[in-house]
Structure 1
Amino acid sequence: MNTAVINWFGPSFSELNPLLQHLHTQGAKLYGEVETRFGSGVAGWIGRRMAHKLGAPTTAGKVPFSVDIHHSPEKLTWSRTFARTHTVTSEFQPVKTYQQSGYWVESTGPVKIHLGVSTEGGNWQWLQQYVSLFRIPIPTIFRPRVSAGKAVVNGLYQFEVKISLPVLGLIFGYSDTLKKDDGKMID
Protein backbone atom coordinates (compact mmCIF):
# COMPACT_ATOMS: atom_id res chain seq x y z
CA MET A 1 0.00 0.00 0.00
CA ASN A 2 1.29 3.45 -0.87
CA THR A 3 1.02 5.63 2.20
CA ALA A 4 1.27 9.41 2.51
CA VAL A 5 4.69 8.89 4.13
CA ILE A 6 6.04 6.75 1.28
CA ASN A 7 4.61 9.13 -1.33
CA TRP A 8 6.01 12.22 0.44
CA PHE A 9 9.52 10.81 0.93
CA GLY A 10 9.75 9.18 -2.49
CA PRO A 11 13.20 7.63 -3.02
CA SER A 12 14.44 9.19 0.25
CA PHE A 13 12.16 6.83 2.19
CA SER A 14 15.07 4.37 2.12
CA GLU A 15 17.10 6.83 4.28
CA LEU A 16 14.92 5.94 7.28
CA ASN A 17 15.89 3.12 9.61
CA PRO A 18 14.32 -0.07 8.17
CA LEU A 19 12.22 -0.47 11.34
CA LEU A 20 10.80 3.05 10.90
CA GLN A 21 10.12 2.19 7.25
CA HIS A 22 8.14 -0.84 8.40
CA LEU A 23 6.21 1.28 10.91
CA HIS A 24 5.28 3.72 8.14
CA THR A 25 4.19 1.12 5.63
CA GLN A 26 2.09 -1.09 7.93
CA GLY A 27 0.96 1.22 10.71
CA ALA A 28 0.92 -0.14 14.25
CA LYS A 29 -0.22 0.19 17.81
CA LEU A 30 2.75 0.88 20.09
CA TYR A 31 2.58 0.78 23.86
CA GLY A 32 4.62 1.22 27.02
CA GLU A 33 5.07 3.98 29.57
CA VAL A 34 6.11 7.58 29.10
CA GLU A 35 7.72 9.99 31.49
CA THR A 36 5.73 13.24 31.47
CA ARG A 37 7.41 16.39 32.72
CA PHE A 38 6.57 20.05 33.18
CA GLY A 39 8.58 23.21 33.62
CA SER A 40 8.70 24.98 36.96
CA GLY A 41 6.83 28.08 38.08
CA VAL A 42 4.84 29.89 35.40
CA ALA A 43 6.12 27.51 32.70
CA GLY A 44 4.75 24.51 34.62
CA TRP A 45 1.40 26.24 35.17
CA ILE A 46 1.11 26.95 31.43
CA GLY A 47 2.23 23.41 30.60
CA ARG A 48 -0.39 21.83 32.88
CA ARG A 49 -3.15 23.99 31.39
CA MET A 50 -2.04 23.07 27.89
CA ALA A 51 -1.83 19.36 28.80
CA HIS A 52 -5.34 19.52 30.29
CA LYS A 53 -6.75 21.10 27.10
CA LEU A 54 -5.01 18.42 24.99
CA GLY A 55 -6.33 15.65 27.21
CA ALA A 56 -2.86 14.68 28.49
CA PRO A 57 -2.02 14.08 32.18
CA THR A 58 -1.39 17.19 34.26
CA THR A 59 1.07 15.59 36.69
CA ALA A 60 4.68 14.63 36.06
CA GLY A 61 5.80 11.02 36.20
CA LYS A 62 5.45 7.66 34.46
CA VAL A 63 2.07 6.83 32.93
CA PRO A 64 0.85 4.06 30.61
CA PHE A 65 0.90 5.22 27.01
CA SER A 66 -0.10 3.88 23.61
CA VAL A 67 -0.21 5.30 20.12
CA ASP A 68 -2.24 4.03 17.17
CA ILE A 69 -0.60 4.93 13.88
CA HIS A 70 -2.79 4.79 10.77
CA HIS A 71 -1.88 5.54 7.17
CA SER A 72 -3.74 6.38 4.02
CA PRO A 73 -2.48 7.75 0.72
CA GLU A 74 -3.60 11.24 1.87
CA LYS A 75 -2.57 11.50 5.53
CA LEU A 76 -0.94 10.03 8.62
CA THR A 77 -2.99 9.81 11.85
CA TRP A 78 -1.63 9.37 15.36
CA SER A 79 -3.95 8.74 18.32
CA ARG A 80 -1.95 8.95 21.55
CA THR A 81 -3.56 7.64 24.75
CA PHE A 82 -2.12 8.68 28.11
CA ALA A 83 -2.93 6.71 31.29
CA ARG A 84 -5.50 4.65 29.34
CA THR A 85 -7.99 7.54 29.60
CA HIS A 86 -6.75 10.65 27.77
CA THR A 87 -6.53 10.44 23.96
CA VAL A 88 -4.93 13.13 21.79
CA THR A 89 -5.37 12.66 18.02
CA SER A 90 -3.28 14.44 15.40
CA GLU A 91 -3.61 14.32 11.65
CA PHE A 92 -0.56 14.97 9.49
CA GLN A 93 -1.16 16.20 5.93
CA PRO A 94 1.80 16.23 3.52
CA VAL A 95 2.60 19.34 1.48
CA LYS A 96 4.81 18.98 -1.63
CA THR A 97 7.48 16.25 -1.22
CA TYR A 98 10.71 15.73 0.68
CA GLN A 99 12.73 16.48 -2.48
CA GLN A 100 10.76 19.74 -2.97
CA SER A 101 11.56 20.95 0.59
CA GLY A 102 8.03 19.98 1.54
CA TYR A 103 6.61 19.71 5.02
CA TRP A 104 3.75 18.22 7.02
CA VAL A 105 0.87 20.08 8.64
CA GLU A 106 0.00 18.59 12.02
CA SER A 107 -3.54 19.42 13.15
CA THR A 108 -4.46 18.84 16.78
CA GLY A 109 -7.74 20.59 17.53
CA PRO A 110 -7.38 24.30 16.64
CA VAL A 111 -3.56 24.13 16.53
CA LYS A 112 -1.73 23.66 13.22
CA ILE A 113 2.03 23.18 13.07
CA HIS A 114 4.07 23.09 9.86
CA LEU A 115 6.89 20.55 10.28
CA GLY A 116 9.85 19.80 8.07
CA VAL A 117 11.73 16.51 8.48
CA SER A 118 15.38 15.56 9.03
CA THR A 119 16.40 11.91 8.54
CA GLU A 120 19.92 12.16 9.92
CA GLY A 121 21.17 8.78 11.11
CA GLY A 122 18.03 7.07 9.75
CA ASN A 123 15.91 8.71 12.45
CA TRP A 124 12.94 11.03 11.97
CA GLN A 125 13.23 14.47 13.56
CA TRP A 126 10.45 17.01 13.12
CA LEU A 127 11.63 20.57 12.35
CA GLN A 128 9.05 23.15 13.35
CA GLN A 129 8.50 25.93 10.82
CA TYR A 130 5.19 27.66 11.64
CA VAL A 131 2.39 27.52 14.22
CA SER A 132 -1.17 28.85 14.10
CA LEU A 133 -4.09 28.79 16.52
CA PHE A 134 -7.58 29.03 15.01
CA ARG A 135 -5.80 29.82 11.71
CA ILE A 136 -4.11 32.89 13.23
CA PRO A 137 -0.29 32.79 12.98
CA ILE A 138 1.44 32.94 16.35
CA PRO A 139 4.27 35.52 16.31
CA THR A 140 7.74 34.08 16.93
CA ILE A 141 8.12 35.86 20.27
CA PHE A 142 5.04 34.02 21.65
CA ARG A 143 5.30 30.83 19.61
CA PRO A 144 5.67 27.55 21.49
CA ARG A 145 8.71 25.65 20.25
CA VAL A 146 8.01 21.99 19.53
CA SER A 147 10.92 19.56 19.42
CA ALA A 148 9.91 16.02 18.47
CA GLY A 149 11.49 12.99 16.94
CA LYS A 150 11.49 9.22 16.70
CA ALA A 151 14.25 6.68 16.39
CA VAL A 152 14.85 2.97 16.78
CA VAL A 153 17.26 1.99 19.56
CA ASN A 154 17.95 -1.67 20.33
CA GLY A 155 14.87 -2.69 18.35
CA LEU A 156 12.54 -0.39 20.30
CA TYR A 157 10.72 2.72 19.13
CA GLN A 158 12.20 5.66 21.04
CA PHE A 159 10.73 9.13 20.96
CA GLU A 160 10.69 12.50 22.66
CA VAL A 161 8.34 15.47 22.51
CA LYS A 162 9.20 18.77 24.19
CA ILE A 163 7.21 21.99 24.08
CA SER A 164 8.86 25.18 25.31
CA LEU A 165 8.24 28.92 25.24
CA PRO A 166 10.72 31.74 24.65
CA VAL A 167 12.21 32.97 27.95
CA LEU A 168 10.23 30.44 30.07
CA GLY A 169 11.78 27.26 28.66
CA LEU A 170 10.17 23.82 28.94
CA ILE A 171 6.44 23.85 29.60
CA PHE A 172 5.54 20.21 28.81
CA GLY A 173 7.23 17.11 27.48
CA TYR A 174 7.12 13.33 27.38
CA SER A 175 9.49 10.62 26.22
CA ASP A 176 10.43 6.95 26.47
CA THR A 177 10.52 3.74 24.41
CA LEU A 178 7.59 1.72 23.10
CA LYS A 179 6.97 -1.81 21.79
CA LYS A 180 4.58 -3.02 19.12
CA ASP A 181 1.21 -4.22 20.40
CA ASP A 182 2.19 -7.84 19.84
CA GLY A 183 4.77 -7.41 22.60
CA LYS A 184 7.64 -8.02 20.20
CA MET A 185 10.34 -5.61 19.20
CA ILE A 186 9.61 -3.58 16.10
CA ASP A 187 10.58 -5.82 13.20
Structure 2
Amino acid sequence: MKNAVAHWFGEDFDKLNPLLRRLHTQGGRLYGKVDITFGTGISGLIGRRIAGKLGIPSQAGKVPFSVEIRHSPETLFWSRTFANGHTMTSEFQPVKTFRQGGYWIESSGPVNIQLGVSIEGGNWQWLQQSVSIFQLPIPTILMPKVSAGKAIIDALYQFEVKMALPVLGFAFGYSGKLLEYAEQA
Protein backbone atom coordinates (compact mmCIF):
# COMPACT_ATOMS: atom_id res chain seq x y z
CA MET A 1 0.00 0.00 0.00
CA LYS A 2 1.18 3.51 -0.82
CA ASN A 3 2.13 5.45 2.31
CA ALA A 4 1.61 9.22 2.66
CA VAL A 5 4.78 9.77 4.72
CA ALA A 6 7.16 7.69 2.57
CA HIS A 7 5.70 9.21 -0.59
CA TRP A 8 6.00 12.79 0.73
CA PHE A 9 9.65 12.36 1.78
CA GLY A 10 10.59 10.42 -1.38
CA GLU A 11 14.27 9.47 -1.45
CA ASP A 12 14.85 11.60 1.67
CA PHE A 13 12.78 9.11 3.71
CA ASP A 14 15.99 7.07 4.09
CA LYS A 15 17.55 9.99 6.01
CA LEU A 16 15.19 9.31 8.94
CA ASN A 17 16.23 7.02 11.79
CA PRO A 18 15.25 3.39 10.93
CA LEU A 19 12.84 3.24 13.90
CA LEU A 20 11.08 6.42 12.73
CA ARG A 21 10.88 4.96 9.21
CA ARG A 22 9.33 1.76 10.55
CA LEU A 23 6.82 3.67 12.69
CA HIS A 24 5.85 5.79 9.68
CA THR A 25 5.45 2.88 7.29
CA GLN A 26 3.86 0.24 9.53
CA GLY A 27 2.21 2.51 12.10
CA GLY A 28 2.24 1.58 15.77
CA ARG A 29 1.30 2.39 19.34
CA LEU A 30 3.68 4.03 21.77
CA TYR A 31 3.25 4.48 25.51
CA GLY A 32 4.96 5.98 28.52
CA LYS A 33 4.67 9.09 30.64
CA VAL A 34 4.71 12.68 29.52
CA ASP A 35 5.83 15.64 31.55
CA ILE A 36 3.30 18.47 31.24
CA THR A 37 4.57 21.97 32.02
CA PHE A 38 2.98 25.43 32.05
CA GLY A 39 4.29 28.95 31.86
CA THR A 40 4.01 31.42 34.70
CA GLY A 41 1.61 34.30 35.15
CA ILE A 42 -0.96 35.09 32.48
CA SER A 43 0.73 32.91 29.84
CA GLY A 44 0.44 29.91 32.16
CA LEU A 45 -3.23 30.64 32.87
CA ILE A 46 -3.98 30.89 29.16
CA GLY A 47 -1.85 27.77 28.55
CA ARG A 48 -3.95 25.78 31.05
CA ARG A 49 -7.15 26.89 29.29
CA ILE A 50 -5.82 25.96 25.85
CA ALA A 51 -4.50 22.62 27.14
CA GLY A 52 -7.89 21.86 28.71
CA LYS A 53 -9.68 22.64 25.43
CA LEU A 54 -7.34 20.21 23.65
CA GLY A 55 -7.96 17.50 26.25
CA ILE A 56 -4.50 17.82 27.77
CA PRO A 57 -4.56 17.66 31.60
CA SER A 58 -4.37 21.17 33.05
CA GLN A 59 -2.15 20.17 35.99
CA ALA A 60 1.62 20.08 35.60
CA GLY A 61 3.48 16.83 36.21
CA LYS A 62 4.11 13.38 34.77
CA VAL A 63 1.05 11.51 33.50
CA PRO A 64 0.44 8.28 31.54
CA PHE A 65 0.23 8.80 27.78
CA SER A 66 -0.11 6.77 24.62
CA VAL A 67 -0.20 7.59 20.93
CA GLU A 68 -1.39 5.52 18.00
CA ILE A 69 0.09 6.36 14.62
CA ARG A 70 -1.52 5.03 11.46
CA HIS A 71 -1.63 5.85 7.77
CA SER A 72 -3.74 5.82 4.68
CA PRO A 73 -2.34 6.42 1.21
CA GLU A 74 -3.16 10.13 1.60
CA THR A 75 -3.13 10.88 5.33
CA LEU A 76 -1.14 10.41 8.54
CA PHE A 77 -3.26 10.00 11.71
CA TRP A 78 -2.16 10.49 15.33
CA SER A 79 -4.44 9.66 18.26
CA ARG A 80 -2.94 10.83 21.57
CA THR A 81 -4.51 9.62 24.83
CA PHE A 82 -3.69 11.38 28.08
CA ALA A 83 -4.15 10.18 31.68
CA ASN A 84 -7.58 11.79 31.85
CA GLY A 85 -8.78 9.37 29.16
CA HIS A 86 -9.27 12.11 26.57
CA THR A 87 -8.03 11.29 23.08
CA MET A 88 -6.83 14.13 20.86
CA THR A 89 -6.76 13.08 17.22
CA SER A 90 -4.94 14.89 14.44
CA GLU A 91 -4.98 14.29 10.71
CA PHE A 92 -1.93 15.32 8.73
CA GLN A 93 -2.41 16.02 5.01
CA PRO A 94 0.72 16.31 2.83
CA VAL A 95 1.05 19.16 0.33
CA LYS A 96 3.58 18.77 -2.50
CA THR A 97 6.69 16.79 -1.43
CA PHE A 98 9.71 17.34 0.81
CA ARG A 99 11.96 18.16 -2.18
CA GLN A 100 9.36 20.55 -3.61
CA GLY A 101 9.39 22.59 -0.39
CA GLY A 102 6.13 20.96 0.65
CA TYR A 103 4.52 20.87 4.06
CA TRP A 104 1.85 19.12 6.10
CA ILE A 105 -1.46 20.51 7.35
CA GLU A 106 -2.30 19.23 10.82
CA SER A 107 -6.04 19.40 11.53
CA SER A 108 -7.36 18.94 15.04
CA GLY A 109 -10.93 20.15 15.39
CA PRO A 110 -11.25 23.69 14.00
CA VAL A 111 -7.48 24.33 14.17
CA ASN A 112 -5.18 23.86 11.17
CA ILE A 113 -1.43 24.24 11.47
CA GLN A 114 0.79 24.33 8.39
CA LEU A 115 4.05 22.53 9.23
CA GLY A 116 7.26 22.25 7.28
CA VAL A 117 9.78 19.55 8.17
CA SER A 118 13.52 19.42 8.70
CA ILE A 119 15.55 16.26 9.16
CA GLU A 120 18.35 16.68 11.68
CA GLY A 121 20.57 13.70 12.52
CA GLY A 122 17.86 11.26 11.41
CA ASN A 123 15.25 13.01 13.56
CA TRP A 124 12.10 14.82 12.47
CA GLN A 125 11.50 18.46 13.45
CA TRP A 126 8.22 20.19 12.65
CA LEU A 127 8.53 23.84 11.51
CA GLN A 128 5.36 25.89 12.04
CA GLN A 129 4.49 28.10 9.09
CA SER A 130 0.93 29.29 9.72
CA VAL A 131 -2.15 28.68 11.88
CA SER A 132 -5.85 29.05 11.13
CA ILE A 133 -8.99 28.55 13.20
CA PHE A 134 -12.27 27.79 11.42
CA GLN A 135 -10.31 28.37 8.18
CA LEU A 136 -9.52 31.96 9.18
CA PRO A 137 -5.76 32.66 9.16
CA ILE A 138 -4.31 34.05 12.37
CA PRO A 139 -2.12 37.11 11.66
CA THR A 140 1.57 36.45 12.33
CA ILE A 141 1.69 39.03 15.11
CA LEU A 142 -1.08 37.18 17.01
CA MET A 143 -0.07 33.61 16.09
CA PRO A 144 0.98 31.27 18.89
CA LYS A 145 4.35 29.66 18.22
CA VAL A 146 4.26 25.87 18.29
CA SER A 147 7.48 23.88 18.20
CA ALA A 148 7.54 20.10 18.01
CA GLY A 149 9.93 17.33 17.14
CA LYS A 150 10.54 13.63 17.49
CA ALA A 151 13.73 11.64 17.76
CA ILE A 152 14.98 8.17 18.53
CA ILE A 153 17.50 8.19 21.38
CA ASP A 154 18.66 4.95 23.02
CA ALA A 155 15.88 3.08 21.14
CA LEU A 156 13.22 5.27 22.77
CA TYR A 157 10.85 7.50 20.85
CA GLN A 158 11.39 10.96 22.36
CA PHE A 159 9.31 13.98 21.55
CA GLU A 160 8.55 17.49 22.72
CA VAL A 161 5.70 19.89 21.97
CA LYS A 162 5.72 23.51 23.18
CA MET A 163 3.42 26.47 22.66
CA ALA A 164 4.37 30.10 23.27
CA LEU A 165 2.11 33.13 23.00
CA PRO A 166 3.09 36.41 21.37
CA VAL A 167 4.53 38.86 23.93
CA LEU A 168 3.53 36.61 26.88
CA GLY A 169 5.95 33.75 26.17
CA PHE A 170 5.80 30.04 27.06
CA ALA A 171 2.22 28.83 27.69
CA PHE A 172 2.46 25.05 27.94
CA GLY A 173 4.24 21.97 26.66
CA TYR A 174 4.52 18.25 27.04
CA SER A 175 7.35 15.86 26.34
CA GLY A 176 8.27 12.28 26.99
CA LYS A 177 10.17 9.11 26.21
CA LEU A 178 7.94 6.40 24.82
CA LEU A 179 8.18 2.66 24.24
CA GLU A 180 6.49 0.77 21.44
CA TYR A 181 3.74 -1.70 22.37
CA ALA A 182 4.88 -5.24 21.58
CA GLU A 183 2.69 -7.14 19.15
CA GLN A 184 0.63 -9.90 20.78
CA ALA A 185 1.46 -13.41 19.52
Relative to the length of structure 1, the TM-score reads 0.96
Cα contact 1:125–1:150 (8 A) shared by 2: yes
| Structure 2 residue ranges without an equivalent (≥5) | none
In the TM superposition, what is the alpha-carbon distance from 1:182 to its structure 2 partner? 1.5
Equivalent position of 2:126 in the other structure:
126
CA distance in 1, matches of 2:80, 2:6: 22
- Name the counterpart of 1:169: 169
Contact 2:57 2:84 (8 Å CA) reproduced: no
Shift of 1:84: 5.1
CA gap of 1:66–1:84, structure 2 versus 1, over 3 A, is: farther
Aligned to 1:19: 19
Q: CA RMSD in A?
A: 1.0
The C-alpha deviation readout for 1:3-38, integer Å capped at 9, x for no partner, is: 100010011100101110011011000000000011
Q: Give secondary structure in 2 for the equivalent of 1:167.
A: coil
SS of equivalent to 1:6:
helix
Structure 1: gaps of 5 or more residues: none
Report the AA paired with residue 53 of structure 1.
K
Alignment of 1:38-77 (within 5 A): 38-77=38-77
SS at match of 1:56: coil
AA of the residue aligned to 1:150: K
1:95 counterpart residue number: 95
> What is residue 180 of structure 2 aligned with on the other side?
180
User: Could you give the per-residue CA deviations for residues 65-100 of structure 1, whole angstroms, max 9, x where no partner exists?
Assistant: 000001111100000001051111000000000010
Question: 1-side partners of 2:176 and 2:83: how far apart?
Answer: 14
Q: Residue 92 of structure 1 contacts residue 107 of structure 1 at CA under 8 Å; is this kept in 2?
A: yes
Q: Is the 8 A contact 2:39 2:172 kept in 1?
A: yes
User: What is the alpha-carbon distance in structure 2 between the residues aligned to residue 150 and residue 84 of structure 1?
Assistant: 23
> For the residues of structure 2 that align with 1:72 and 1:121, how far apart are their CA atoms?
27
- Measured in 1, the distance between the counterparts of 2:129 and 2:93 equals 15
- The TM-score with structure 2 as length reference comes to 0.97
The alpha-carbon deviation at position 169 of structure 1 amounts to: 1.1
The answer to whether the Cα contact below 8 Å between 1:65 and 1:84 also exists between their aligned partners in 2 is no
* Alignment coverage as a number of residue pairs: 183
